[in-house]
Amino acid sequence: MKKIFEKAAHAVLFTSSTVSIITVLLIILFLFREGVGLFGKKPIEDGQVLLVNKLNPVSKLTSDELKNIFDQEYTNWRKVGGTNDSILLFRIDDIFNYYTEEELAGIDTNIQLLNEKVSELVGKQIGMVAFISKTQLVLNNKVKIIEVEPVSVSGFFGGELWFPTSQPAAQFGVLPLLLGTLWVSLLAILIALPFGLATAVYMAEIARPSVRSMLKPVVELLAGIPSVVYGFFGLIVIVPLVQQLFNLPVGETGLAGSIVLAIMALPTIITVAEDSIRNTPRSMKEASLALGATHWQTIYRVIIPYASSGITAAVILGIGRAIGETMAVLMVTGNAAIIPHTILQPMRTIPATIAAELGEAAKGGMHYKALFALGCILFLITMLVNITVEFISGGKRIKR
Protein backbone atom coordinates (compact mmCIF):
# COMPACT_ATOMS: atom_id res chain seq x y z
CA MET A 1 0.00 0.00 0.00
CA LYS A 2 2.83 2.37 0.86
CA LYS A 3 4.55 1.70 -2.46
CA ILE A 4 1.33 2.37 -4.35
CA PHE A 5 0.94 5.70 -2.55
CA GLU A 6 4.57 6.65 -3.31
CA LYS A 7 4.14 5.76 -6.98
CA ALA A 8 0.93 7.80 -7.16
CA ALA A 9 2.62 10.78 -5.50
CA HIS A 10 5.57 10.43 -7.89
CA ALA A 11 3.21 10.36 -10.87
CA VAL A 12 1.30 13.42 -9.65
CA LEU A 13 4.50 15.41 -9.07
CA PHE A 14 5.93 14.37 -12.44
CA THR A 15 2.69 15.28 -14.24
CA SER A 16 2.36 18.67 -12.54
CA SER A 17 5.98 19.61 -13.25
CA THR A 18 5.70 18.47 -16.87
CA VAL A 19 2.49 20.42 -17.40
CA SER A 20 4.04 23.52 -15.84
CA ILE A 21 7.14 23.34 -18.05
CA ILE A 22 5.10 22.72 -21.20
CA THR A 23 2.76 25.62 -20.33
CA VAL A 24 5.68 28.01 -19.91
CA LEU A 25 7.26 26.86 -23.17
CA LEU A 26 3.96 27.27 -25.02
CA ILE A 27 3.55 30.79 -23.66
CA ILE A 28 7.07 31.70 -24.84
CA LEU A 29 6.42 30.08 -28.22
CA PHE A 30 3.16 32.02 -28.62
CA LEU A 31 4.90 35.26 -27.63
CA PHE A 32 7.67 34.87 -30.20
CA ARG A 33 5.33 33.59 -32.92
CA GLU A 34 3.22 36.73 -32.69
CA GLY A 35 6.20 39.05 -32.32
CA VAL A 36 8.25 37.67 -35.21
CA GLY A 37 5.19 37.99 -37.46
CA LEU A 38 5.81 41.75 -37.59
CA PHE A 39 8.98 41.50 -39.64
CA GLY A 40 8.75 41.31 -43.40
CA LYS A 41 5.36 43.04 -43.52
CA LYS A 42 4.79 46.44 -45.05
CA PRO A 43 3.98 49.16 -42.50
CA ILE A 44 1.10 50.45 -44.58
CA GLU A 45 -2.55 49.82 -43.91
CA ASP A 46 -3.98 46.79 -45.68
CA GLY A 47 -6.03 47.70 -48.73
CA GLN A 48 -4.25 51.02 -49.29
CA VAL A 49 -1.69 51.97 -51.95
CA LEU A 50 0.51 54.92 -52.85
CA LEU A 51 -0.04 56.22 -56.36
CA VAL A 52 2.43 58.45 -58.26
CA ASN A 53 3.06 59.57 -61.81
CA LYS A 54 4.83 57.01 -63.98
CA LEU A 55 7.49 59.58 -64.90
CA ASN A 56 8.50 59.80 -61.24
CA PRO A 57 11.71 57.72 -60.88
CA VAL A 58 11.02 56.89 -57.21
CA SER A 59 9.80 53.30 -56.94
CA LYS A 60 10.28 52.50 -53.24
CA LEU A 61 10.07 54.45 -49.99
CA THR A 62 10.83 53.68 -46.36
CA SER A 63 8.26 54.35 -43.66
CA ASP A 64 10.41 57.24 -42.37
CA GLU A 65 10.54 58.86 -45.80
CA LEU A 66 6.80 58.41 -46.23
CA LYS A 67 6.12 60.02 -42.87
CA ASN A 68 8.36 62.98 -43.72
CA ILE A 69 6.55 63.41 -47.04
CA PHE A 70 3.07 63.44 -45.52
CA ASP A 71 4.25 65.62 -42.61
CA GLN A 72 5.53 68.01 -45.32
CA GLU A 73 9.06 67.92 -43.95
CA TYR A 74 10.11 66.73 -47.40
CA THR A 75 8.73 69.04 -50.08
CA ASN A 76 10.87 67.97 -53.03
CA TRP A 77 11.31 64.53 -54.58
CA ARG A 78 15.09 65.01 -54.56
CA LYS A 79 15.00 64.23 -50.83
CA VAL A 80 14.06 60.63 -51.63
CA GLY A 81 16.13 60.16 -54.77
CA GLY A 82 13.68 61.62 -57.28
CA THR A 83 13.77 64.52 -59.69
CA ASN A 84 13.70 68.22 -58.85
CA ASP A 85 9.92 68.40 -58.56
CA SER A 86 7.79 69.66 -55.70
CA ILE A 87 5.85 67.04 -53.79
CA LEU A 88 2.11 67.56 -54.15
CA LEU A 89 0.07 65.63 -51.61
CA PHE A 90 -3.36 64.43 -52.61
CA ARG A 91 -6.10 63.57 -50.15
CA ILE A 92 -9.57 62.38 -51.06
CA ASP A 93 -11.16 65.65 -49.97
CA ASP A 94 -8.90 67.49 -52.43
CA ILE A 95 -10.63 65.94 -55.43
CA PHE A 96 -13.30 68.64 -55.36
CA ASN A 97 -10.55 71.18 -56.06
CA TYR A 98 -9.80 69.55 -59.41
CA TYR A 99 -13.19 68.40 -60.72
CA THR A 100 -16.63 69.96 -60.93
CA GLU A 101 -19.68 68.53 -59.21
CA GLU A 102 -21.02 67.35 -62.57
CA GLU A 103 -17.85 65.38 -63.25
CA LEU A 104 -18.04 63.81 -59.80
CA ALA A 105 -21.72 62.90 -59.96
CA GLY A 106 -22.28 59.60 -58.16
CA ILE A 107 -18.72 59.40 -56.91
CA ASP A 108 -19.82 58.94 -53.29
CA THR A 109 -21.18 55.48 -54.04
CA ASN A 110 -18.87 54.47 -56.90
CA ILE A 111 -15.39 53.62 -55.64
CA GLN A 112 -14.23 52.63 -59.12
CA LEU A 113 -15.17 56.03 -60.51
CA LEU A 114 -13.33 57.73 -57.65
CA ASN A 115 -10.20 55.72 -58.29
CA GLU A 116 -10.41 56.44 -62.02
CA LYS A 117 -10.52 60.15 -61.34
CA VAL A 118 -7.59 59.93 -58.91
CA SER A 119 -5.53 57.93 -61.40
CA GLU A 120 -6.35 60.46 -64.10
CA LEU A 121 -5.35 63.33 -61.85
CA VAL A 122 -2.06 61.75 -60.73
CA GLY A 123 -1.25 61.01 -64.36
CA LYS A 124 -1.40 64.73 -65.10
CA GLN A 125 0.72 65.85 -62.09
CA ILE A 126 4.34 64.60 -62.09
CA GLY A 127 4.94 65.53 -58.44
CA MET A 128 1.65 64.27 -57.02
CA VAL A 129 1.38 61.34 -54.60
CA ALA A 130 -1.98 59.89 -53.55
CA PHE A 131 -2.79 57.50 -50.70
CA ILE A 132 -5.97 55.70 -51.73
CA SER A 133 -7.82 52.41 -51.45
CA LYS A 134 -6.85 49.71 -53.91
CA THR A 135 -10.41 48.37 -53.99
CA GLN A 136 -11.52 48.40 -57.63
CA LEU A 137 -8.37 50.38 -58.46
CA VAL A 138 -8.01 51.18 -62.15
CA LEU A 139 -4.48 52.00 -63.29
CA ASN A 140 -3.81 53.79 -66.55
CA ASN A 141 -0.50 53.90 -68.38
CA LYS A 142 0.46 57.19 -66.72
CA VAL A 143 0.53 56.10 -63.06
CA LYS A 144 2.28 53.48 -60.94
CA ILE A 145 2.22 52.17 -57.39
CA ILE A 146 5.11 52.96 -55.05
CA GLU A 147 6.29 50.09 -52.88
CA VAL A 148 6.91 50.60 -49.17
CA GLU A 149 9.85 48.78 -47.62
CA PRO A 150 8.78 46.11 -45.11
CA VAL A 151 9.64 46.25 -41.42
CA SER A 152 13.17 44.94 -40.85
CA VAL A 153 14.94 43.86 -37.69
CA SER A 154 17.52 46.64 -38.05
CA GLY A 155 14.82 49.24 -38.65
CA PHE A 156 12.82 47.99 -35.69
CA PHE A 157 15.71 48.12 -33.21
CA GLY A 158 17.41 51.18 -34.69
CA GLY A 159 14.33 53.26 -35.44
CA GLU A 160 13.91 56.42 -33.41
CA LEU A 161 10.16 56.92 -33.90
CA TRP A 162 7.34 54.94 -32.32
CA PHE A 163 4.05 55.85 -34.01
CA PRO A 164 2.33 52.48 -34.60
CA THR A 165 -0.95 54.03 -35.74
CA SER A 166 0.33 56.85 -37.96
CA GLN A 167 -0.87 57.17 -41.55
CA PRO A 168 0.01 56.42 -44.25
CA ALA A 169 2.83 54.30 -42.80
CA ALA A 170 3.27 53.20 -39.20
CA GLN A 171 6.57 53.84 -37.41
CA PHE A 172 7.96 50.91 -35.40
CA GLY A 173 11.19 52.28 -33.93
CA VAL A 174 11.79 50.61 -30.58
CA LEU A 175 15.02 52.43 -29.68
CA PRO A 176 13.34 55.16 -27.50
CA LEU A 177 11.37 52.52 -25.58
CA LEU A 178 14.41 50.28 -25.12
CA LEU A 179 16.61 53.11 -23.86
CA GLY A 180 13.85 54.37 -21.57
CA THR A 181 13.45 50.89 -20.06
CA LEU A 182 17.19 50.49 -19.47
CA TRP A 183 17.65 53.99 -18.03
CA VAL A 184 14.78 53.70 -15.57
CA SER A 185 15.43 50.09 -14.54
CA LEU A 186 19.19 50.30 -14.08
CA LEU A 187 19.00 53.49 -12.03
CA ALA A 188 16.25 51.95 -9.92
CA ILE A 189 18.47 48.95 -9.11
CA LEU A 190 21.46 51.19 -8.37
CA ILE A 191 19.28 53.03 -5.86
CA ALA A 192 17.53 50.01 -4.36
CA LEU A 193 20.40 47.53 -4.08
CA PRO A 194 22.63 49.40 -1.56
CA PHE A 195 19.66 50.37 0.63
CA GLY A 196 18.12 46.92 0.38
CA LEU A 197 21.32 45.06 1.18
CA ALA A 198 22.15 47.41 4.06
CA THR A 199 18.67 46.96 5.53
CA ALA A 200 18.92 43.17 5.16
CA VAL A 201 22.28 43.08 6.96
CA TYR A 202 20.94 45.30 9.72
CA MET A 203 17.82 43.20 10.26
CA ALA A 204 19.69 39.89 10.16
CA GLU A 205 22.84 40.69 12.15
CA ILE A 206 22.61 43.96 14.01
CA ALA A 207 19.01 44.74 15.02
CA ARG A 208 17.67 43.48 18.34
CA PRO A 209 15.06 40.71 18.10
CA SER A 210 12.30 43.10 19.13
CA VAL A 211 13.26 45.57 16.41
CA ARG A 212 13.54 42.83 13.81
CA SER A 213 10.16 41.36 14.75
CA MET A 214 8.65 44.79 14.18
CA LEU A 215 10.45 45.60 10.90
CA LYS A 216 9.99 42.21 9.25
CA PRO A 217 6.16 42.39 8.93
CA VAL A 218 6.35 46.02 7.80
CA VAL A 219 8.77 45.17 4.97
CA GLU A 220 6.67 42.18 3.89
CA LEU A 221 3.56 44.36 3.97
CA LEU A 222 5.19 46.82 1.58
CA ALA A 223 5.63 44.01 -0.96
CA GLY A 224 1.86 43.49 -1.04
CA ILE A 225 0.91 47.09 -1.84
CA PRO A 226 -0.57 47.35 -5.39
CA SER A 227 1.63 49.09 -7.93
CA VAL A 228 -1.05 51.69 -8.68
CA VAL A 229 -0.75 52.90 -5.06
CA TYR A 230 2.98 53.41 -5.55
CA GLY A 231 2.10 55.25 -8.75
CA PHE A 232 -0.23 57.61 -6.91
CA PHE A 233 2.43 58.18 -4.26
CA GLY A 234 5.01 58.95 -6.93
CA LEU A 235 2.63 61.27 -8.78
CA ILE A 236 1.71 63.25 -5.68
CA VAL A 237 5.00 63.26 -3.75
CA ILE A 238 8.00 62.32 -5.89
CA VAL A 239 7.06 64.05 -9.15
CA PRO A 240 6.60 67.54 -7.56
CA LEU A 241 9.76 66.99 -5.49
CA VAL A 242 11.85 66.17 -8.58
CA GLN A 243 10.36 69.13 -10.44
CA GLN A 244 11.19 71.59 -7.65
CA LEU A 245 14.59 70.11 -6.81
CA PHE A 246 15.92 70.27 -10.39
CA ASN A 247 13.84 73.27 -11.52
CA LEU A 248 12.21 71.32 -14.37
CA PRO A 249 9.15 72.29 -16.43
CA VAL A 250 7.57 68.91 -15.59
CA GLY A 251 8.38 66.39 -12.90
CA GLU A 252 7.29 63.28 -14.83
CA THR A 253 10.79 62.09 -15.69
CA GLY A 254 12.90 58.96 -15.77
CA LEU A 255 14.31 59.89 -12.37
CA ALA A 256 10.84 59.91 -10.79
CA GLY A 257 10.17 56.50 -12.33
CA SER A 258 13.49 55.14 -11.05
CA ILE A 259 12.77 56.31 -7.50
CA VAL A 260 9.31 54.74 -7.53
CA LEU A 261 10.68 51.47 -8.93
CA ALA A 262 13.47 51.47 -6.34
CA ILE A 263 10.91 51.80 -3.55
CA MET A 264 8.86 48.98 -5.07
CA ALA A 265 11.89 46.68 -5.43
CA LEU A 266 13.14 47.27 -1.87
CA PRO A 267 10.78 44.83 -0.06
CA THR A 268 11.71 41.97 -2.40
CA ILE A 269 15.44 42.61 -2.11
CA ILE A 270 15.31 43.04 1.67
CA THR A 271 13.19 39.95 2.35
CA VAL A 272 15.13 37.53 0.14
CA ALA A 273 18.58 38.84 1.11
CA GLU A 274 17.74 38.91 4.83
CA ASP A 275 16.53 35.30 4.81
CA SER A 276 19.69 34.23 3.01
CA ILE A 277 21.95 36.06 5.47
CA ARG A 278 20.17 34.55 8.47
CA ASN A 279 20.69 31.07 7.04
CA THR A 280 24.47 31.39 7.38
CA PRO A 281 25.58 28.57 9.76
CA ARG A 282 26.24 29.74 13.28
CA SER A 283 29.45 27.69 13.35
CA MET A 284 30.97 29.81 10.57
CA LYS A 285 30.24 33.02 12.46
CA GLU A 286 31.67 31.64 15.69
CA ALA A 287 34.78 30.35 13.91
CA SER A 288 35.41 33.79 12.41
CA LEU A 289 34.96 35.52 15.76
CA ALA A 290 37.18 32.94 17.46
CA LEU A 291 39.99 33.73 15.02
CA GLY A 292 39.92 37.35 16.15
CA ALA A 293 37.70 38.91 13.46
CA THR A 294 35.36 41.69 14.49
CA HIS A 295 31.62 41.51 13.94
CA TRP A 296 31.86 43.78 10.90
CA GLN A 297 34.74 41.76 9.45
CA THR A 298 32.69 38.60 9.91
CA ILE A 299 29.74 40.16 8.12
CA TYR A 300 31.89 41.38 5.22
CA ARG A 301 34.23 38.40 4.80
CA VAL A 302 32.13 35.45 5.90
CA ILE A 303 28.39 36.07 6.01
CA ILE A 304 27.88 38.08 2.81
CA PRO A 305 30.10 35.79 0.66
CA TYR A 306 28.31 32.72 2.04
CA ALA A 307 24.89 34.29 1.34
CA SER A 308 25.89 35.53 -2.14
CA SER A 309 23.58 33.06 -3.90
CA GLY A 310 20.58 34.33 -1.95
CA ILE A 311 21.65 37.94 -2.49
CA THR A 312 21.95 37.17 -6.20
CA ALA A 313 18.41 35.84 -6.19
CA ALA A 314 17.29 39.04 -4.47
CA VAL A 315 19.01 41.11 -7.15
CA ILE A 316 17.39 39.08 -9.94
CA LEU A 317 13.93 39.42 -8.41
CA GLY A 318 14.48 43.13 -7.83
CA ILE A 319 15.60 43.71 -11.41
CA GLY A 320 12.66 41.66 -12.66
CA ARG A 321 10.28 43.81 -10.62
CA ALA A 322 11.88 46.97 -11.99
CA ILE A 323 11.99 45.93 -15.65
CA GLY A 324 8.51 44.45 -15.76
CA GLU A 325 6.59 47.12 -13.86
CA THR A 326 3.84 48.88 -15.82
CA MET A 327 1.27 51.03 -14.05
CA ALA A 328 3.50 52.93 -11.63
CA VAL A 329 6.01 53.75 -14.39
CA LEU A 330 3.24 54.75 -16.75
CA MET A 331 2.00 57.29 -14.21
CA VAL A 332 5.26 59.05 -13.31
CA THR A 333 7.68 58.90 -16.28
CA GLY A 334 5.81 61.20 -18.65
CA ASN A 335 5.11 58.42 -21.18
CA ALA A 336 7.03 60.19 -23.97
CA ALA A 337 8.41 57.91 -26.70
CA ILE A 338 11.54 59.96 -27.36
CA ILE A 339 15.21 59.07 -27.11
CA PRO A 340 16.35 60.18 -23.63
CA HIS A 341 19.61 62.05 -23.22
CA THR A 342 19.40 62.58 -19.46
CA ILE A 343 17.50 60.88 -16.66
CA LEU A 344 15.64 64.16 -16.10
CA GLN A 345 13.66 63.82 -19.34
CA PRO A 346 10.21 62.25 -19.78
CA MET A 347 10.53 58.64 -20.95
CA ARG A 348 8.45 55.65 -21.90
CA THR A 349 9.31 52.05 -21.03
CA ILE A 350 8.42 48.86 -22.89
CA PRO A 351 6.03 47.49 -20.21
CA ALA A 352 4.22 50.84 -20.00
CA THR A 353 3.84 50.90 -23.80
CA ILE A 354 2.35 47.40 -23.85
CA ALA A 355 -0.06 48.24 -21.04
CA ALA A 356 -1.16 51.52 -22.62
CA GLU A 357 -1.59 50.33 -26.22
CA LEU A 358 -2.56 46.65 -26.21
CA GLY A 359 -6.21 47.38 -25.55
CA GLU A 360 -6.38 49.62 -28.63
CA ALA A 361 -4.50 47.33 -31.02
CA ALA A 362 -6.58 45.28 -33.44
CA LYS A 363 -5.95 41.58 -32.94
CA GLY A 364 -3.66 40.22 -35.62
CA GLY A 365 -2.73 43.67 -36.94
CA MET A 366 0.75 45.12 -37.21
CA HIS A 367 0.34 47.20 -34.06
CA TYR A 368 -0.73 44.05 -32.20
CA LYS A 369 2.30 42.11 -33.47
CA ALA A 370 4.63 45.03 -32.67
CA LEU A 371 3.52 44.96 -29.04
CA PHE A 372 4.21 41.23 -28.90
CA ALA A 373 7.65 41.96 -30.35
CA LEU A 374 8.17 44.36 -27.44
CA GLY A 375 7.21 41.52 -25.11
CA CYS A 376 9.88 39.35 -26.76
CA ILE A 377 12.47 42.07 -26.14
CA LEU A 378 11.41 42.29 -22.50
CA PHE A 379 11.73 38.53 -22.13
CA LEU A 380 15.21 38.54 -23.70
CA ILE A 381 16.37 41.41 -21.47
CA THR A 382 15.20 39.60 -18.34
CA MET A 383 16.81 36.35 -19.46
CA LEU A 384 20.08 38.13 -20.24
CA VAL A 385 20.09 39.81 -16.83
CA ASN A 386 19.47 36.47 -15.09
CA ILE A 387 22.25 34.74 -17.03
CA THR A 388 24.70 37.58 -16.37
CA VAL A 389 24.02 37.69 -12.63
CA GLU A 390 24.21 33.90 -12.36
CA PHE A 391 27.49 33.90 -14.27
CA ILE A 392 28.99 36.54 -12.00
CA SER A 393 27.73 34.77 -8.90
CA GLY A 394 28.97 31.40 -10.14
CA GLY A 395 32.39 32.87 -10.85
CA LYS A 396 32.59 34.23 -7.31
CA ARG A 397 31.62 30.85 -5.83
CA ILE A 398 34.31 29.08 -7.88
CA LYS A 399 36.86 31.73 -6.91
CA ARG A 400 36.15 31.19 -3.23
Taking the CA of residue 240 as centre, how many other CA atoms within 13 Å lie in the half-sphere pointing to its CB?
5
What are residue 118's DSSP bridge partners? none
Q: What is the pLDDT of residues 103-142, one digit of tens each?
A: 777 666 667 777 788 888 888 888 999 888 777 677 778 8
Taking the CA of residue 55 as centre, how many other CA atoms within 13 Å lie in the half-sphere pointing to its CB?
11
Burial class (CB in 10 A: 0-12, 13-18, 19+), 336: middle
Mean residue pLDDT across the chain: 86
For residues 16-21, give the mean pLDDT: 92
Residue type, 169: A
C-alpha torsion sign, points 314, 317, 319, 322: negative
Taking the CA of residue 132 as centre, how many other CA atoms within 13 Å lie in the half-sphere pointing to its CB?
31
Domain 48-152+164-171 has CATH 3.40.50.720: no
Q: What is the pLDDT of residues 282-320, one digit of tens each?
A: 888 888 888 888 888 888 888 888 888 888 888 888 887
Distance CA 319, CA 385 (A): 8
CB-CB contact of 103 with 134 (8 Å): no
CATH topology for 175-399 is MetI-like fold (1.10.3720)
Distance CA 254, CA 344 (A): 6
**How far lies 161's CA from each of 178, 343, 353, in Å?**
12, 19, 13
C-alpha torsion sign, points 316, 318, 319, 324: positive
pLDDT at residue 47, rounded to an integer: 79
Whether the bond between 168 and the residue before it is cis, its omega within 30 degrees of 0, is: yes
Element (H, E) at 49: strand 48-53
End-to-end CA distance of the chain: 48
CB-CB contact of 324 with 275 (8 Å): no
What are residue 49's DSSP bridge partners? 132
Residues 6 or more apart from 386 whose CB is under 8 A from it? 316
Q: What is the pLDDT of residues 180-211, one digit of tens each?
A: 999 998 899 899 989 999 999 999 888 888 88
The pLDDT-based confidence of 393 (bands split at 50, 70, 90) is low
Residue type, 10: H
Q: What is the pLDDT of residues 43-90, one digit of tens each?
A: 887 778 888 998 899 989 988 888 889 888 899 999 998 888 899 988
Domain boundaries, the chain: 1-36, 48-152+164-171, 175-399
Quick check: 93 pLDDT over 80? no
Distance CA 370, CA 170 (A): 11
Quick check: 179 pLDDT over 90? yes
pLDDT at residue 397, rounded to an integer: 52
For residues 23-40, give the mean pLDDT: 92
What are the start-end ranges of the H helices in the chain?
Answer: 2-36, 63-70, 111-124, 153-158, 175-201, 209-223, 227-233, 239-246, 254-278, 282-290, 295-298, 304-306, 308-324, 327-332, 350-357, 366-399
